[in-house]
Amino acid sequence: MSFAPYQPPPQPGRSNSNYSGGYQQLPGGSGSVGGGGSSSAAPQSFNGGSAYVTPGAVEQGGERINKYETQLPVRVDIEAALCYSLMALSAVVFLIFETKNDYVRYHAWQSALTFTVLIAAQIIFSFISSALAWIVFIIELGAVGWLGYNAYINGDSLDRYEVPYIGKIASQWVDSE
C-alpha cells in the first residue's frame, strides 16, 4: 500500500493484497501482520501486552533487545561514523552518552585509543621535526576519513572494522562491559 502524494488514498473497506509485511516473528509469537504469503511479523506478548518487534530485535530473558537501538536519537551507522569525526574528543562524548549500543561503543573506544596514540606520536615528533609532525597529522586526517567511512558502511551488518592491535583491545573492552 503506497501513500505517495500522486496516488489517491485507498477506499474504505478495500484491502490491499500486495502487502508482504516488514516485520519478523519472534519465537512464541502468534498471529500475523499484513496479508500475504511472506508474513513476517507477529504480536509478541511481553508482560501481558502486545508489541510488534522489528527485524533487529531479539528476546533475551523476557526483555526485548534491539541491536540497532541507540541511546541518542541518531541512527547507529551515523553515530559510529561520528565517533571518529573529532578524533578522541568525539569518542569520549559517545562513550559518556551512548550506553545501549555495543557497535557505537566499540567504535568510540577504538577512536579514543587510536587517536590518543596518534596525537602522542605527533607531539613527540614535533620535538624532533616539524615535517614528521605534519606527516603524522596527515595520517590522522586519513584515519578519520577511512575509519569513519568503514564504521558508516558496516553499520547495517554491524561488522567491526578493527585497527591492528587497538581494535582487539577495544573489542575486549566492549565485550567485557
**106 pLDDT higher than 80:** yes
Residue holding cell 567491526?
160
Kindly report the pTM of this predicted structure. Answer: 0.64
Does the pLDDT value for residue 163 go beyond 90? yes
Interatomic CA distance for residues 83 and 150, integer angstroms: 12
CB 111 within 8 A of CB 91: yes
pLDDT, tens only, 30-60: 444 444 444 444 444 344 443 334 455 555 5
Spatial separation of the C-alpha atoms in residues 92 and 95, rounded to whole Å? 5
Confidence at 66, pLDDT banded by 50, 70, 90: confident
Q: Which three cell numbers stand for residue 88?
A: 578522541
Q: Confidence class of residue 68 from pLDDT cuts 50, 70 and 90?
A: confident
Directed axis angle between helix 102-128 and helix 88-97, to 10°?
150
